[in-house]
Amino acid sequence: MSIKDQPTTANLKFKKLKRMYLFALVTIAITVLLSQLLIQSNLKSQLHDSRLINISGKQRMLSQKLVKEILVYTTTTDSTRKNSELQKITATFSTWKSTHFALKDGDDDLHFPKENSLKIESLYSQIQPHFDAIVAATTDLIASENNVVQSKNVATILDNESAFLSKMNQIVGQYEKEALEKVRLQRNTEYGILSFTLFLLLLEFLFIFKPTTQRIELLIAKLLSSEKKAIKLAYDTEVLSEIKEDSVKELKSLNYALENSLLYCRLTPDGKIIHMGEQFCKLLQYNMLSADDKFSQALSSLSHEQAYIDQLIKDKHRSSWHGELKTTAKNDVVIWLDLSIVPVIIKKGNSELLVICFDITERKKAEQEVERLNKAQIADKLNQQKTISSKIVENQENEQNRIAREIHDGIGQMLTGLKFSLESIDVNDKDKTEQKITYLKKLSLDIIKGVRTATFNLMPPELSDYGIAASLSKLTTELGKLTGKNIVFYNKTNFDKRLDSLIEINCYRLTQEAVNNAIKYAESTDIAVQLSHSNSILSIIIDDNGKGFDVTQVEAKRNSESGMGLLFMKERIQYINGRVFINSIPGEGTRITFNIPI
């Protein structure tokens, strides 16, 4: 695959990953939404069941109250009390009758259903004759003052009251039975939704999350590789830039003398010579014998160069131009000119072109000579770079293997455990299902912790969020826990400022490298990391009580692992214009100091 095709392939992989995650999230969202709609629908159907049962039970009480009030009314002889009791009968009768119709036919204000079950409808059909008889007798009793008629109506009411109460008890019982059935249906529905949700999560884990995890692992490996390549490229660029700067400095002395000799010429807008300076004429071996000579002809003896100069003057006669120009003068002498063309307005409607040149032929020759002289130096730099590059590749492979082991041995095994636990869930066994879900929550937290540990080893979040002080404190704490060493951090000047991200990451990596060397090679038991600062310098000091080493001998062994480690430190500190000081006494310990300008 070519480099040009790599971004397209990466974009396709990211788009596929995005679609897979979007599909998983949408599926879960739809499942949750549909389950909530189903549950809310069931709950809505049960919302007014308690009121329905309460009112139907109250209807029995009203019928008994009505009978009681009728008996009191018919046995009372006091006219005032009879009127009072008649009003009570009328009110109770009206409420009892309206409530019966609301239960039987439905009522929007009370949220009673207009359609009842077949069992309820049958019970209401059986109770209807008794209800109608009581209604008719009560209506007649209220309207009549004849004691005989009233006694007859009371007898009718009493005859139908017991049957009405019996059927009403059956209706209330049926309401309670149907409400209980709805609750059972709700419970079974929720169990079904739970089973479907767990099955859906299992499918997404097998076909989405697990493949995605594998792709992320591959992506992390590629990102690490890209980071190492970027660091190498930055280093190569810096080396070449230093070489170029050295070459420029060597040419300054030559340029100074050459740029003092002014070469100039005045031209018409169409490129004809008005006047040429004496030094310019001498350089070009040109004699101004006639006016209106072409500047291109005086400057070069080759037709293609003359055509280029004419076109350049035609294009730039209204604007300035500056650049280097190679010409072939008389006798095939090659001349390099640093040439500037500047339009000059003499008066309104009349303009000229002022050409100012510097003869840079000798400078060009000197540049070629300097390049030749620097080839040996560049070759030495490239050989040293190859050595460093091979070591970087080796370290990169070691780091990738370590991350792969962490992911495989830690996160990978926990994900496998999560898969087997999901597969073993039996939704019919509620108690064990709850226990396994609790275990799955704990296992998920362990997986999250493992992912955070892996990402911390790659790039601590404290570094990007809070800066170098917080990240170094976190680094020493975590390494102390992992290694069992006494690693402490002191922020002696309470430094809490943010620095450029390049400075922060290099400070962090340098400290991490120094502490790891103290743990791995020095066999230290106590390590102290100190951070302090002044107005212009940030200082990081790493002290250990390890076995120490001879700095001179280690630096001389550039091909050894320890020698390359010190070289890498010095190369990395140069990226941020800092300095490193290494003091070590064999048998006593080592102090490494990083000073970084801020």
- Bridge partner residues of 532 (DSSP): 539
- Bridge partner residues of 351 (DSSP): 345
Structure tokens at 118: 């077949």
Domain residue spans of the chain: 16-218, 261-359, 459-597
C-alpha distances in Å from residue 479, one per residue of 173, 452, 594:
71, 15, 20
pLDDT of residue 4: 44
Q: What is the pLDDT along the chain (598 residues), one digit of tens a residue?
A: 444 444 555 555 667 767 777 777 787 778 778 777 777 766 666 666 677 778 878 888 888 888 888 888 888 877 788 888 888 888 888 888 888 888 887 776 766 777 788 888 888 888 888 888 888 888 888 887 777 777 888 888 888 888 888 888 888 888 888 888 888 887 888 888 888 888 888 887 887 778 777 877 888 888 888 888 888 888 888 887 777 777 666 655 544 444 455 788 888 888 888 888 888 888 888 876 655 678 888 888 888 888 888 888 888 777 888 888 888 887 778 888 888 888 888 777 788 888 888 888 888 888 878 888 877 677 766 666 666 555 555 555 565 556 656 665 666 666 777 676 676 676 677 777 777 778 777 877 777 766 666 665 666 778 888 899 999 999 999 888 878 899 999 999 999 899 998 899 999 989 998 998 898 888 899 999 999 999 999 999 999 999 988 888 877 665 555 556 777 788 889 888 999 999 999 989 999 999 999 8
pLDDT of residue 257: 43
For the chain, the first-to-last Cα distance in angstroms comes to 43
C-alpha distances in Å from residue 276, one per residue of 44, 259, 343, 474:
101, 18, 16, 73
CA pair distance 440, 495, nearest whole angstrom: 42
pLDDT of residue 3: 43
Cα 225–226–229 angle (5° rounding)? Answer: 90
Cβ(586)–Cβ(549) under 8 Å? yes
- Bridge partner residues of 489 (DSSP): 529
CATH superfamily name and code, 261-359: PAS domain (3.30.450.20)
Interior/surface letters 142-164, b for 16+ CB within 10 angstroms, e for the rest: beeeeeeebeebbebbeebbebb
Question: What string of DSSP letters covers 465-489?
Answer: HT-HHHHHHHHHHHHHHHH--EEEE
167 CB burial (10 A radius; 0-12, 13-18, 19+): buried
Cβ(335)–Cβ(361) under 8 Å? yes
φ, ψ of residue 269 to 5 degrees: the values are: -60, -25
pLDDT of residue 256: 45
Which of 517, 513, 567, 511 is closest to 547 using CA atoms?
517
pLDDT of residue 395: 57
Q: How many CB atoms lie within 10 A of CB 125?
A: 11
The amino acid at residue 444 is S
Structure tokens at 14: 């990211």
Strands of the sheet with 579-585, listed across from one edge:
486-491, 526-533, 537-544, 589-597, 579-585
Same fold, 261-359 and 459-597: no
493 CB burial (10 A radius; 0-12, 13-18, 19+): middle
CA pair distance 380, 570, nearest whole angstrom: 18
Which of 486, 490, 512, 508 is closest to 499 using CA atoms?
508
Cβ(353)–Cβ(313) under 8 Å? yes
Look at the block and give the residue holding tokens 């190679």: 326
Q: Does domain 459-597 have CATH number 3.30.70.360?
A: no
Domain 16-218: give its CATH architecture: Up-down Bundle (1.20)
